[in-house]
Structure 1
Amino acid sequence: MLHIQAIPAFQDNYIWLLSEEHTGHCLVVDPGDADAVETALARLNLTLSGILVTHHHWDHTNGIEALTKNRNIPVYGPDNIEISGITQPLNDAQTLTVLNTRFRILKTPGHTLDHIAYFAHPDQDDPILLCGDTLFSGGCGRLFEGTAEQLHESLNKLCSLPKNTRVYCAHEYTLANLAFARTVEPGNRSIEEYRNRVIQLRKENRPSLPSSIELELAINPFMRTDQHSVITAVREHAPQAVLSGDAEIFGALRQWKDHF
């Protein structure tokens, strides 16, 4: 069985560590901080056997060089020459098998143009989504390179995944995102119930993640742009804007969050 745990890094990053029971081998996802990874490997007595990367931003890639300096291990990631150290470039719909688990690559541009996510459905366990900065619990990534249409399409792709999919995002942004979600949908009781759970988790210094696709469909306004309550809130916030389609609603919602 695949075991997943968080390695906190920087102010709010999570480097996800995937390990296989009884073998001692593991992978890390988006290792921006090599020292944090090395500390975790020593503490857990694990052997690093590969790296997964979702996109090129420094806080997801800066640890690659140090982690591979004395290790002959594969580095999987987007087909992007800007990311130094990638040995196995990946594109949409490709598959790879690591730690006896088959992952499917989902191209998810918007936050960056090269962004990909990793989806797997291990035997006898819930599906897994390693989504980097495309999807956050209660929110989504900023539009640094892509368009609102691209990110909206990427999130729609994730919406179609099995509802019990466990969602492993790369940042602990949940409480801040839920503050915005409450503003968009003040009558959404699921948001309030989830916020109370997250407050308790954070008081205990525990990650709010993983989330799930089912939960995000209930509380995340960026996954709910087809809902009347979200559409109405966006139109009231931007009454002068011409918002004729879902992507335009999404774009206006993202702009609202940018200045929230």
Structure 2
Amino acid sequence: MAESDPLSEIEFLARSPNRIEVLAALAEGPHTRRELAAAVDVSQPTLGRILRDLSERKWVEKGDGDDYRATATGRLVATGMTDLRDRLATETELREVIEWLPTESIDVDLTRFSGATITTPTQTRPNAPIQRMLELLRETDHALLLSHAFNEQKLRLIHDRTVDGDLTTRGVFGEEAIDAIAATPELRDVLADILAAEDAEIRVSADEIPVAVEVTDDRTHLLLRNDEGIVRASLDTADPAVREWAERIHERYWQGGRPVTTADLDG
């Protein structure tokens, strides 16, 4: 076949998702035509054309028997294309919230957020991101909390669950969050009860906290705000790499913070 440039080869694969699927399947191991047709769900005539096109590029070859397999360059191309496809799929998912995602503070590949649950406000549920956060807190036995702010609904839920002994939590919050609670008598009493609970520890950080993140039993949850501090979305995932990042950043601020005491609540 005539020599081609890389963009033309990308276009060749992108025009037919089946080409990518066949190449990816063969990169994983040898397949017969029957196995390929079943795995990719294409007809034999279509599969024949795909194998011919891939063979012309020396990306696949026929083995001694009925098997087809990917060549070394075929495996190279398959890895690159499937990686690009996965990255673009993640980008498409995150596109609606990326402007509020604090990427400069997240030292984990964004592909780890693929398949994350994204919750945004709607006309009928304007508070949907907060409600998703509360839902996860209701379902967990343990929670790590990190935020510059303290939502009242969240504060009261943590109060009820920690006072009843249903939740073990370690939270780090910004000074402004604690000051705002201390200035509100009814919330001051709520936080005082939390501080007295056996399985709750709250610390305050003098440093600016760049993310609002929670780690529960099964999910890592981020609350996304705009520059004015308005909640615009939430994102949660079960990905272990995201969880490890969240635990690291929580530990960093936990070690740098100081315990909140009743003296902090004196009005």
Q: Could you tell me the TM-score, scaled by structure 1's length?
A: 0.28
Which has a greater percent of helix? 2
Higher strand share: 1
Structure ID, larger Rg:
2
Q: Which has the higher contact order (CA 8 A, sep 6+)?
A: 2
